[in-house]
Structure 1
């Protein structure tokens, strides 16, 4: 079980959920329904936070979160199941890349002690925010490239 603090809900789980749901919309090429987006993002943040508190091995919570986001995307956002699965897996791959890049920066550029970082909830959350920013940038970049490609196709 991961030990979670309320700061992790507000600075990690909620933004991560909004980003995950947005990514599923974007990667599945589904028009965004703002009301459903907000509702499912808030549900997702509670689910992310709750799953991380379960007494399971590290990594299993990631698989559960992926499954729950797919289910939410299909049932509430009415995204095709195949598109939702593909989009969630693309999101997860980009998330792992962003977190790996962030860990590399923390260890090799900032020279931070990872044991100290992960033992302090505030430090862990603050040092984890750049990975969310990197992930957001990747999703935004994909969205911009897709828009430009669609504009060229529709000309």
Structure 2
């Protein structure tokens, strides 16, 4: 199995923003009102769960699926939602997986276009946790953009804009 554990640097630079971003997406896509204290608590729990899952002896990709399943469960337990919200949570998890995949692919292709295949491989697999985090941060920005655009499209579709 691949070692997918992350360093404290990666947790701070990528894990925190992405954990809160996934929590935000769940709120936005399930039409759940954001209450600041609940949002922060749920986001921190999500980040800790994601961090812990990455230490399991599992392959890359499995961690994302397990993290989203955990977020669905935590979200439901925390908000005690009705069945329609549970279904929207599951759909949201699938959408987030697709968005993460797209974001990471775009980031990788941009890195290859700018630095070439060999240098990109060095950037994302090298020993410097800071460089790894910085090289993959654009994927978080792409993920943010995809979530925001989807949110706007959903609002427009339902006549809320």
Higher mean C-alpha displacement, 130-139 vs 72-81: 72-81
Give the structure-1-normalised TM-score. 0.88
RMSD: 1.9
Distance in 2 between residues matched to 1:148 and 1:61, nearest whole Å: 33
Corresponding residue to 2:120 among 114, 121, 146: 114
Verify the 8 A CA contact 1:48 1:65 in the aligned structure 2.
Answer: yes
Q: Deviations over 1:119-144 (max 9, x none)?
A: 23221111111000111011112222
Instruction: Indicate the residue corresponding to 2:61 in structure 1.
Output: 59
User: Mind listing any 5+ residue stretches in structure 2 that lack a counterpart?
Assistant: none
The alpha carbon displacement at 1:19 in A equals: 0.4
The alpha carbon displacement at 1:39 in A equals: 0.5
Verify the 8 A CA contact 2:65 2:97 in the aligned structure 1.
Answer: no
Give the structure-2-normalised TM-score. 0.85
Distance in 2 between residues matched to 1:22 and 1:70, nearest whole Å: 13
The alpha carbon displacement at 1:27 in A equals: 1.5
1:4-43 equivalence runs, <5 A: 4-43=6-45
Deviation above 6 Å: which 4+ runs of structure 1? Answer: none
